[in-house]
Structure 1
Amino acid sequence: MHTAEEKLRERIKELTCLYEVTSLIVNCDYEQIEEVLRAIAHCLQRAWQFDADALVELQTSSLNIKTDEEMGKSVFLQSSIKVFNEQEGFIRVGYPSSKYTQSDFLIEEQRLLDNVCLEVGNLLERKEIKENQVDIRRQVEQADRLRILGEITAGIAHELNTPLANILGFAELLRERIEGDADAEKDLDKIISNAIFSREVVKKLMFFACEMPQERARVNIVPIIKDAIDLLGTTLSRNEVSCELEVSQENITLKIDKIQLTQVLFNLIVNALYFSPPKGKIVVAVCEHQETVVLKISDEGIGIPEDMANKVFDPFFTTKPVGEGSGLGLSVVHGIVKSHQGTIKHMPNSPSGTIFTIEFPKL
């Protein structure tokens, strides 16, 4: 039987714990969520009747915090952490079973634990809401930039097409007139090759601006992927990089524009090739699920720096030296994937490199 003084002392400990937990949550920096949850665990430990022997474990989907790493066998009270009415984890507070039994817990301790779990769940909900708001704002800003740039680049592409066609046409006519002049032919070849390169940039601009007509048909994409890899075979060999194809089955049907799918593959494989070390390996993996088709392209390069991870799909953004990249390749890929109602994301490869994952819906 507890005396009135002992009961009062326990109530003070519980109220102090609630006050400390509330203060931690109110002043929480969402970037330091682990430190806050660790502090909450120690607050709970101090609030228990036999605090010197109390053990606390706080677990969420991404964290597992213990006040004693070797908790061993114990008796404990437990309560669930819920985020948007879904169980996200739990908190349990216990004693070593060698010294205590379940009867050593107080009824008030279970109530305290339930209240703390409720507060932690509210904290995790607010963190998720804030992260979603940041993501939505970033998507809106990017969509607005893409819309404006799309209008500008569409105009630029149309304006450049005519003079480029004239340059190539007159260069071909001029070649016939200077036949036999080796130096002049060499210079003319440079003009033609640079004009062709410029025309390819214009094509990318038109892809980005969604000016290229899309012709979607239901086709088996496996042969298309094999053809794209075969066409890059010489370039891969010259750079001493291998490219392997892994498919879940030989017939994977998807309603897609074949030319645009090839454009996606070319851009991603060439990009992977550029950053791959000699003797490196690029893996193209295709897997069919019930409602989607997932395409993964992984390399063993240097990977994407964390501070640039959110910029890789921005138009004209490139980490390549001047003259070696227009910064449109991944923007074009992003636009094509989006036009097919798909999604594209990237993540680090292990031990090094990058994995681009594209998910197309089966429409």
Structure 2
Amino acid sequence: MIFVLPFLFDTGVSCIYNPAMDERFAELLEHNSAAVKRLFNLNQQILSEAVKQTVFSEFMEGTLSILQKMFKNDEVIIVTGPGDKRTCYRLYMDNGRAEFSSLYNAPLVESIDDGEALFRKPRHIYNPFPQKANPDSIRHYSHFISLRSGSEKIGSLVMATSSSPFSNDDCTLIDMIADTLSLAMASFEHKSAMTERVKELTCLYRIAQLSADPNLSISEVLQGVVLLFPPAWQYPDVTAGKIVFDSSTFVTESYVSRPLPLLSDIVVNGRKRGWIEVVYLQNMPIMDEGPFLKEERNLINTIAHQLAVVIEHRELEAEQEQLHRQLLHADRLATIGKLAAGVAHELNEPLGNVLGFAQLLSKDGTLPETARNDITKIESAALHGREIVRKLMLFARQTQPKKATAKINQVVQQALSLVESRLSSGGVLLDLKLGDNIPETVLDSSQFVQIVINLVVNAAQAMPEGGKLTIQTLCEDNTLVLTVKDSGTGMTETIRQQIFLPFFTTKDVNQGTGLGLSVVHGIVLAHNGTIDVQSEPDSGTTFTIRVPIIRKPDYGEGTNE
């Protein structure tokens, strides 16, 4: 323990360093029992304050008040923390009223450091405080003492007054109280550390509970998590938080942007998707990282990592569910395809017979005009039925495509030449974006013309009041990409999942067979491609077809596979 006798700045009284604390206490005990009672009373009050308070600044304020009332001095200062992170907790009397402040006052801290250093040397001292210190920073009569936990210095205590020097008994009491104060500070630090760990673990446990609830969406989980931030940080009443994820932001009610925030990135599958931010709404003492503890840095990093794991898991589950639905859909289409193929084969022969006999009858010159008209209707109906059978066989991939090398841009332009008049009459603005340097590929040109026509007609029907139709071609990773996008009415998710089913249609009766998109689906699959549909009500629809580019076929041009 280091202690010093009082000194008088104006007269230059000698300062004596005397480590014989036990002897002084024994002398105090023998000659001044009242001082001993004051010592025990002070010890009890300071230790009680350490137990009662949960915030260090409040513990400091209470302790400074206890010391000021006991010694009736004008100013009490406790400096805590290492290096430039030290904080001055200061209580001074202003016209009989106690004023408390907690901040880092560099000149004041330097003056206290100078005072402690000088008092360790037994020599005459006259005003060790240079002009760089505020004139009222330290009073005329001051007593300095280091606060230590074992061999480690944890702070400084300064007792100052303007009225009269401290008595020898007061100096002895202050020296002894410093031991109690050091013990109380160390105990408070351990208690605070334990409390902070419990708060952090509680926060992480509640985050785990939120994440485990399957009924909550990712957005609901993130909003719940951000509300758990304030109770987990050192100053809950002035803590606010924000989570940014993709294009969404989740904040506590009182959040505002502040300097020195604590940040941690949310990284999902190696890609930054957002971040977590915690701020204090008031200026707080400088700690390990700005106003935050190193444990709070570890906490926010843990939360960010935990959220990344939750998001990755949720997105994986959603992807697996989507794949499962796609497999069920594909299986359903395959089953319908088999049924359609069987029906088509069964209908094809009788339709052919009906058409053949109708054509033979139509050549009979003796038939009356009424009968001839009826035969024409039979022939037309048979042709219509055969066209439906042909489309069913395309959907079921029973008709092999006649593949040959072709340029997709030419195929698109050929198809558009057949529907241009329909687009212009319907007020549809065509935006054609044909990619450059797209290599020739092996495909059935006539079938791809049918794909473009079917998609364009569907788009035009989805824009009864006109709109914009965008057709784009490009080459991407040795894959031919054809995109048809409209600004029409769009569709719900329920409808989107059924559009490739044969005979499914949202059009009025006699407005379509419901086979157009089924045919498109069958042709794409026959070319080992994929078709993707993105659509929302009132937001238009986008069809994206991807087909592998085949530059060197193993078969001759114009032949089947």
Q: TM-score range by the shorter chain?
A: 0.7 to 0.9
Deviation at 1:177, TM superposition (A): 2.6
Q: Distance in 2 between matches of 1:82 and 1:250?
A: 38
Q: Distance in 1 between matches of 2:508 and 2:336?
A: 23
Deviation at 1:88, TM superposition (A): 3.4
- Is 1:224 aligned to residue 411 of structure 2? yes
Structure 2 partner of 1:14: 200
Summarize the Cα distance change of 1:76–1:106 in structure 2 as closer, same or farther, 3 Å threshold: same
Aligned counterpart for 1:42 among listed residues 201, 218, 227: 227
1:4-49 Cα deviation digits (max 9, x unpaired) = 443343233222212221221122425x221211110110132111
Q: Distance in 1 between matches of 2:460 and 2:301?
A: 54
Summarize the Cα distance change of 1:137–1:279 in structure 2 as closer, same or farther, 3 Å threshold: closer
Aligned counterpart for 2:384 among listed residues 197, 208, 212: 197
Is contact 1:74-1:97 (8 Å) kept? no
Q: Distance in 2 between matches of 1:324 and 1:351?
A: 21
Is contact 1:154-1:205 (8 Å) kept? yes
Summarize the Cα distance change of 1:178–1:37 in structure 2 as closer, same or farther, 3 Å threshold: farther
Q: For 1:280-359, list aligned pairs within 5 A.
A: 280-348=467-535, 352-359=539-546
Structure 2 partner of 1:274: 461
Gaps of 5+ in 2: 1-79, 81-184, 551-561
Deviation at 1:87, TM superposition (A): 3.7
Q: Distance in 1 between matches of 2:536 and 2:321?
A: 26
Q: Partner of 2:363: helix, strand, or coil?
A: helix
Aligned counterpart for 1:51 among listed residues 222, 226, 236: 236
Q: For 1:1-363, list aligned pairs within 5 A.
A: 1=80, 3-4=188-189, 5-30=191-216, 32-67=217-252, 71-95=256-280, 102-177=289-364, 181-236=368-423, 239=426, 241=428, 243-249=430-436, 253-348=440-535, 352-363=539-550
Deviation at 1:235, TM superposition (A): 4.2
Q: Partner of 1:313: helix, strand, or coil?
A: coil
Q: Which residue identity lines up with residue 275 of structure 2 in the other structure?
A: F
Is contact 1:314-1:331 (8 Å) kept? yes
Gaps of 5+ in 1: none
Which of the pair has the greater relative contact order for Cα pairs under 8 Å at 6+ separation?
A: 1
TM-score normalised according to structure 1 size: 0.88
- Residues 224-233 or 201-210, more deviating: 224-233
1:192-225 Cα deviation digits (max 9, x unpaired) = 2222221111111111111111232221121211
Q: Which residue identity lines up with residue 517 of structure 2 in the other structure?
A: L
Summarize the Cα distance change of 1:276–1:56 in structure 2 as closer, same or farther, 3 Å threshold: same
Q: Distance in 2 between matches of 1:95 and 1:248?
A: 53
Q: Which residue identity lines up with residue 340 of structure 2 in the other structure?
A: T
Task: Indicate the percent of aligned positions where both proteins have the same amino acid.
Answer: 36
1:176-199 Cα deviation digits (max 9, x unpaired) = 336785544443333222222211
Summarize the Cα distance change of 1:45–1:184 in structure 2 as closer, same or farther, 3 Å threshold: farther
Q: Which residue identity lines up with residue 193 of structure 2 in the other structure?
A: K
Q: Distance in 2 between matches of 1:299 and 1:188?
A: 42
Higher helix share: 1
1:261-304 Cα deviation digits (max 9, x unpaired) = 11211221122222221444433222333533321212233211
Structure showing greater Rg: 2
Is contact 1:75-1:96 (8 Å) kept? no
- Residues 267-276 or 175-184, more deviating: 175-184
Q: Distance in 2 between matches of 1:204 and 1:69?
A: 62
Q: Distance in 1 between matches of 2:262 and 2:511?
A: 62
Q: Distance in 1 between matches of 2:427 and 2:382?
A: 29
Q: Distance in 1 between matches of 2:506 and 2:490?
A: 11
Q: Partner of 1:270: helix, strand, or coil?
A: helix
Aligned pairs, number? 362
Deviation at 1:316, TM superposition (A): 3.1
Q: Which residue identity lines up with residue 173 of structure 1 in the other structure?
A: L
Deviation at 1:109, TM superposition (A): 0.8
Q: Partner of 1:131: helix, strand, or coil?
A: helix
Is contact 1:277-1:300 (8 Å) kept? no
Summarize the Cα distance change of 1:289–1:129 in structure 2 as closer, same or farther, 3 Å threshold: closer
- Residues 116-125 or 205-214, more deviating: 116-125
Q: Which residue identity lines up with residue 392 of structure 2 in the other structure?
A: L
Is contact 1:53-1:95 (8 Å) kept? yes
Summarize the Cα distance change of 1:242–1:90 in structure 2 as closer, same or farther, 3 Å threshold: closer
Q: Distance in 2 between matches of 1:350 and 1:249?
A: 33
Deviation at 1:100, TM superposition (A): 6.3
Is contact 2:503-2:514 (8 Å) kept? yes
Q: Distance in 2 between matches of 1:151 and 1:265?
A: 25
Displaced runs of 4 or more, over 6 A? none
Q: Distance in 2 between matches of 1:103 and 1:283?
A: 53
Summarize the Cα distance change of 1:138–1:112 in structure 2 as closer, same or farther, 3 Å threshold: same
Is contact 2:229-2:240 (8 Å) kept? no
Is contact 1:254-1:362 (8 Å) kept? yes
TM-score normalised according to structure 2 size: 0.59
